[in-house]
Amino acid sequence: MGKGDRPGSKKGAKASQPLRSRIGGVAMFLVAAGLVAYAVHVAVAAYNQDFLPDAPSFAPRHDFEWIVLVLLIAGAVFQVGRKLMAPSAEQVLAHDHRAPVIYLRPFDEDCRRAHAHPVGTRIGGRDLEKTSAPASPEKALAQALSRIGPFIAVGMPGDALAPLGAARLYLSDDNWQAEVEALVRRAAAIVLVPETSEGTRWEIAKVVRWTDPRRVLMIVPDPALRPLGYARIQKLSVESMPVALPEGVAGQHAFVFDAHHRPNPLRPGKITAELLEPFVAQVLHLDGASP
């Protein structure tokens, strides 16, 4: 985050909030349910027409495409409903009195996607199948760390709908640093996705200053897939952290720290509750709770 990372925010302006509406969310769920019911109706009707003995029509039909389209729209509407009903960080913190888990990442991370092919403008030749999936581990982190406390992140200014995963806290440009610092100081755990931007450097400095290193989980690029990204973060760690990250080992993209700030990689693998179990156990142990 930081000035360079906060597009659309104005000095002195109140932070813009995404659209939230419980009624709107329920309405979206009902619309999605209606669409699914319609798709089922079309499927049953098509089956009856095609396979019953008195099936009358041999005209070309597009039932399958129509059903898939309706189901895709239903899925999208359902997701919008979930986002409309996503609680804000303030609501979550009001209901859950445990110390929060703070997710500090560059805003770009929210929309980063893993593409099947190199991204850019292709001129000539044959087009390729375009597929991509969200690359952010946020949802997996939210699930895995829910045992520690509510999962909170600062929202990206200009979000029309709050993303799913961490509960978002929308801050104005004037006070975001003070608010983030206050959150860092009271956090049960910090998940840090470091980057070289001004904002995330500031966040690293605050985490190093205020947080017990055993409460910090650092997510970095996988050296096997993104050696250049890992090298960049390793260089950053030399400049910004008491103990630098080690040379990259394939698959190791999550680090926990001991009391002396020494980084220890978690075993290679995707971010799951099982992978993060040692970290969760360590934090719960520090809080005196039984893991």
Partner 1 sequence: MTLLRHAGLRLTRSPLALIILFADLAVMAVIYDPQYWQVMVMFAAPAIGAFLWIVVGALRAEARGMKLRRLLAEALVANGDGGIAHDDFPDLPVCFGKKRLYCARGKELDVQPLEDLAWAYVEEFRLHPTWHQLVIWNRKAQANVLPLRKCFVAPALERLEKAAPWLPVGYNNTMKESWNADHRDFLAMVDDFRGASRRFDRPWAGKDFAQVMAYGKNSWAGGMMNTSGGMEATRLKKLWAEGGG
User: Looking at 12, 53, 56, 125, which residue binds partner 1 (CB under 8 A)?
Assistant: 125
Using CA of residue 81, residue 84, residue 87, residue 89, what is the dihedral sign? Answer: positive
Closest CB 131 distance from partner 1, rounded Å: 9
- Identity of residue 166: A
CB atoms within 10 A of CB 26: 13
**Span interacting with partner 1, options 63-71, 81-89, 116-124, 185-193, rule CB under 8 A:** 116-124
User: Looking at 119, 238, 249, 289, which residue binds partner 1 (CB under 8 A)?
Assistant: 119
Q: Does 123 bind partner 1 (CB under 8 A)?
A: yes
User: Looking at 75, 227, 242, 291, which residue binds partner 1 (CB under 8 A)?
Assistant: 227
| Contact call for residues 273 and 143 (beta carbons, < 8 A) | yes
β-sheet bridge partners, residue 217: 191, 256
β-sheet bridge partners, residue 264: 256
Q: Identify which of 222, 257, 274, 202 has the alpha carbon closest to the alpha carbon of residue 3.
A: 202
Place of tokens 């500090």: 104
User: Looking at 95, 97, 130, 260, which residue binds partner 1 (CB under 8 A)?
Assistant: 130
Longest dimension (CA), the chain: 79
Q: Does 229 bind partner 1 (CB under 8 A)?
A: yes
How far apart CA 156 and CA 107 sit, in angstroms, is 6
Q: Does 19 bind partner 1 (CB under 8 A)?
A: no
User: Looking at 18, 81, 155, 221, which residue binds partner 1 (CB under 8 A)?
Assistant: 221
Closest CB 143 distance from partner 1, rounded Å: 23
Q: Does 62 bind partner 1 (CB under 8 A)?
A: no
Contact footprint for partner 1 (CB under 8 A)? 108, 111-115, 117-130, 132, 135, 221, 224-229, 231-232
